[in-house]
Structure 1
Amino acid sequence: MSFTIAVGSTNPAKTTAARTICERAFPGCTVATVDVPSGVPEQPIGPGQTSTGARNRARAALAAVPGARMGMGLEGGVDEEGNLINCVAVVEAGGRENLTWGVCFPLPPAVVARVLRGEELSRVMDEVTGRTESKKQQGAVGILTNGLFTRAEMWQGPLACALMPFLHPELYPAPVAG
Structure 2
Amino acid sequence: MSFTIAIGSTNPAKTSAVRAVCERAFPGCTVAAVNVPSGVPEQPIGPAQTSTGAQNRARAALAAVPGARMGMGLEGGVDPDGSLINCVAVVEAGGRENLTWGVRFPLPPSVVARVLRGEELGPVMDEVTGRNESKKQLGAVGILTNGIFTRAEMWQGPLACALMPFLHPELYPAPVTPPPEA
> So what's the TM-score if we normalise by structure 2?
0.97
Task: Please state whether the residue corresponding to 1:114 is helix, strand or coil.
Answer: helix
Cα distance in 2 for partners of 1:74, 1:137 equals 15
Counterpart in 1 of 2:38?
A: 38
Counterpart in 2 of 1:121?
A: 121
Quote the offset at 1:69 in angstroms: 0.3
Matched residue type, 2:20: T
Q: How high is the sequence identity, in percent, across the aligned residues?
A: 88
Matched residue type, 2:94: G
Task: Please state whether the residue corresponding to 2:103 is helix, strand or coil.
Answer: strand
Cα distance in 1 for partners of 2:122, 2:16 equals 18
Task: Please state whether the residue corresponding to 1:103 is helix, strand or coil.
Answer: coil
Task: Please state whether the residue corresponding to 1:43 is helix, strand or coil.
Answer: coil
Cα distance in 2 for partners of 1:60, 1:172 equals 24
Counterpart in 2 of 1:109?
A: 109
Unaligned runs of 5+ in 2: none
Counterpart in 2 of 1:96?
A: 96
Task: Please state whether the residue corresponding to 2:76 is helix, strand or coil.
Answer: strand
Q: When the two structures are aligned, how many residues end up with a matched partner?
A: 178
Quote the offset at 1:86 in angstroms: 0.2
Quote the offset at 1:177 in angstroms: 1.1
Task: Please state whether the residue corresponding to 1:172 is helix, strand or coil.
Answer: coil
Quote the offset at 1:129 in angstroms: 0.2
Unaligned runs of 5+ in 1: none
Root mean square deviation, CA, Å: 0.4
The within-5 A match list for 1:10-159 is: 10-159=10-159
Matched residue type, 2:73: G
Cα distance in 1 for partners of 2:134, 2:91 equals 28
Task: Please state whether the residue corresponding to 2:102 is helix, strand or coil.
Answer: strand
Deviations 1:23-48 (A, max 9, x none): 00000001000000000000000000
Stretches of 4+ aligned residues off by more than 6 angstroms: none
Task: Please state whether the residue corresponding to 1:72 is helix, strand or coil.
Answer: strand
Matched residue type, 1:156: Q
Cα distance in 2 for partners of 1:81, 1:175 equals 31
Matched residue type, 1:160: A
Counterpart in 2 of 1:3?
A: 3
Cα distance in 1 for partners of 2:22, 2:173 equals 21
Deviations 1:117-139 (A, max 9, x none): 00000010000000000000000
